[in-house]
Amino acid sequence: MRTRDTSNESADERAARAAAAVGLVTGERGSRRAGRGAGAPRTGEGDGDATRADRQRDQQGGERQRDQQGGQQREQQGGGQQTRGERQADRRDDRQLLDDERGGRRRRGRDRGRERDRKRGRNRQGPDVAGLDDIEVNEDDVLLPVAGILDILDNYAFVRTSGYLPGQNDVYVSLGQVKKAGLRRGDAVTGAVRQPREGENQGSTARQKFNALVRLDTVNGMSPDEARQRPEFTKLTPLYPQDRLRLENTEATRLTPRVIDIVAPIGKGQRGLIVAPPKAGKTIIMQQIANAITANNPEVHLMVVLVDERPEEVTDMERTVKGEVIASTFDRPASDHTIVAELAIERAKRLVELGQDVVVLLDSLTRLSRAYNLAAPASGRILSGGVDASALYPPKRFFGAARNIENGGSLTILASALVETGSKMDEVIFEEFKGTGNMELRLSRNLADKRIFPAVDVNASGTRREEILLSQDELKIVYKLRRVMGALDQQQAIELLLGQLKKTQTNVEFLLHVQKTTPGGLADDDNVGRTI
């Protein structure tokens, strides 16, 4: 180990060298003590002025460095806040784009209301479907007229321009505009959309798929202000049918309408079931009923709703019936069947709110219930035949909409129900709807196999409170005829009725003939139509 020769050093040199060694060890703490007012560490009486000056310069340099670092941190914090705001806005835009690509579904929970509130009052660029008030229309924009039926879903609405099913040319309507204008599902609206500019719809995002409605012109033929004052369908008072829908026409060879007028008369607001087994002539009877209604009652708006039907029968119905035919063939998914039925009945309700008389022919109620059983979410409660308990409520809501309104307007629904199909599900569905109607026309497979048409089971068919629809004299004769046919079997009764109808030209002539040739029986004619 080497030893340094310090014999030749002076006292001042040894003191300076010791002070430098101590300064290296305590330099960091010395600057901190100097900032707090603490003195430098004692190094003895021989500490020189040069060493103290160096420590002061180091202290001042450290303070300036800390000031610069603090300023940089403050700038970074301010810039970081701005960057976080931009990132949050970008994330909101990304979430909005993702929701649009998934069909417009919003995230559950609190984000649904938050995202909806943030979109209001904000003008976005491009074909964003945020709302009618959010779309900018310039003077050089070209507006194209559109018209269709409004279909309101959970978080958005569409104007169906190509019928009652969703299509590529549908027009988007925001819920804000729906509430502002008081629109309802099933309204026939007209308005305008902005024609896309050149190159505007060349992107790949889903939000560019549908044009948005930028102007609302009419609602059901009225101005939006007038349409806002209309009553609600659920608040209208239902009554028994009072005005009769006569099916008898000038063609005396068509016996089906005349048989129905006698056996099961139909009134405005009737809720009727046509109970038919397969191959019993159900479709032909419904076509004749539709043509008779349009011929004798031109003021009635006729709608024929075909659900899960064969395509050739849809074409035949469109060419035969003089009315609005709304169809969904059996090759479509069950969700399309339910969409068509719901939008059709909502359209009928909107017409009834305006005081019109609407007749809806549904073929068939059984197939509509099957479609709801497939499309509706499972409730976990299964009835016999594999029918979900919750799947029967929407068809009941459809069928239960039929009613006669107190101060004008009516909704008549005649729906067919399938029986004797060999399916337990069809039996359960029919039993659920059996007591809901106030008119029933039952067809017989036995008569149809013998080629007796119309294959109407006379004794099993009838109308509730038919005394309201028939006059007092007509009711007495019908009761006499019922007593005679009640004593006969199914085939003899319809053959007797058809044979007498062929001999006469009108039902009035037939009833007069029955009155002359049929005894009154044991019942007192004075009590006919009275409540005993």
pLDDT in tens, 68-91: 555 555 545 544 444 555 566 566
Q: Which domain holds residue 423?
A: 238-517
> Within a domain: residue 130?
no
The whole-number pLDDT of residue 3 equals 47
Higher pLDDT among residues 256 and 28, named by residue: 256
- CATH at residue 183: 2.40.50.140
The whole-number pLDDT of residue 531 equals 46
> Within a domain: residue 324?
yes
Helix (H) or strand (E) holding 253: none
**Residue 44: left (phi > 0), alpha (psi -120 to 50), or beta?**
left
384 and 311, same structural domain?
yes
> Within a domain: residue 71?
no
Find the mean pLDDT for residues 476-486.
Answer: 95
Torsion, CA 310, CA 311, CA 312, CA 314, rounded to 10: 90
CB 335: neighbour CB atoms within 10 A? 15
> Within a domain: residue 328?
yes
The whole-number pLDDT of residue 408 equals 87
Q: Which residues are annotated as a binding site for ATP?
A: 267-272, 279-284, 310
Q: Is the pLDDT of residue 105 over 90?
A: no
242 and 224, same structural domain?
no
175 and 243, same structural domain?
no
> Within a domain: residue 27?
no
**What is the pLDDT of the chain when averaged over all its residues?**
81
> Within a domain: residue 391?
yes
What percentage of the chain has pLDDT greater than the value 70?
A: 69
220 and 175, same structural domain?
yes
pLDDT in tens, 420-468: 999 999 999 999 999 899 999 999 999 999 999 999 999 999 999 999 9
357 and 287, same structural domain?
yes
Q: Which residues are annotated as a binding site?
A: 267-272, 279-284, 310
- CATH at residue 389: 3.40.50.300
148 and 258, same structural domain?
no
| Number of domains within the chain | 2
Decide if 288 contacts 256 (C-beta within 8 A): yes
What percentage of the chain has pLDDT greater than the value 90?
A: 60
252 and 189, same structural domain?
no
191 and 244, same structural domain?
no
190: DSSP letter: E
444 and 398, same structural domain?
yes
- The stretches of 120-227 forming alpha helices (DSSP H) are 175-181, 224-227
Q: Is the pLDDT of residue 527 over 90?
A: no
As beta bridge partners, residue 411 has 358, 403
> Within a domain: residue 458?
yes
181 and 318, same structural domain?
no
**Tally of residues, the chain:** 532
300 and 256, same structural domain?
yes
Residues 6 or more apart whose Cβ sits within 8 Å of residue 443? 274, 275, 276, 277, 280, 281, 282, 285, 454, 455, 456, 457
> Within a domain: residue 121?
no
341 and 218, same structural domain?
no
Find the mean pLDDT for residues 293-309.
Answer: 96
Least confident of 164-168, 315-319, 346-350: 164-168
